[in-house]
Amino acid sequence: TMPYAHCKGIIYGTMTLELGGAVSVTCEKTGYSAVIEFKLKPFLGSDDSVNQVSGKIKLGKEVLATLEGHWDSEIVIHDKKTEISETFWNPTSDIRQRRLHRCTVHFDEQGDFESEKLWQHVTRAINNKDQTDATQEKFVLEEAQRKAVKERKAKGEEWNCRLFEQDPITGEWQYKYADTRPWDPLNDLVQFEKDGAIQTKVRHRTPMVSVPKIKRKPTSKQKVESGCSSPELDNQDSSGSEAHLLTHTTRTRKNTTDRKS
pLDDT in tens, 90-127: 988 888 888 777 777 888 888 888 889 999 999 999 99
pLDDT of 48 reads 74
pLDDT of 13 reads 66
Across the range 77-89, mean pLDDT stands at 93
- pLDDT tens-digit map of 58-76: 999 999 999 999 988 899 9
- The answer to whether residues 6 and 18 touch, using CB atoms and an 8 Å cutoff, is yes
* CA gap 134, 141 in Å, rounded: 11
What is the pTM for the complete model shown?
A: 0.46
Residue 22: closest CA among 1, 52, 51: 1
Bridge partners (DSSP) listed for residue 90:
none
Indicate the SS3 state at residue 108: helix
- pLDDT tens-digit map of 35-59: 999 998 877 767 777 889 999 999 9
pLDDT of 210 reads 53
- pLDDT tens-digit map of 202-261: 888 765 555 555 555 555 444 433 333 444 444 443 333 333 433 443 444 444 444 444
Mean pLDDT of the chain, nearest integer: 78
- The answer to whether residues 249 and 105 touch, using CB atoms and an 8 Å cutoff, is yes
HSE-up of residue 101 (Cα within 13 Å, Cβ side): 7
pLDDT of 205 reads 72
- Residue 144, pLDDT > 80, answer yes
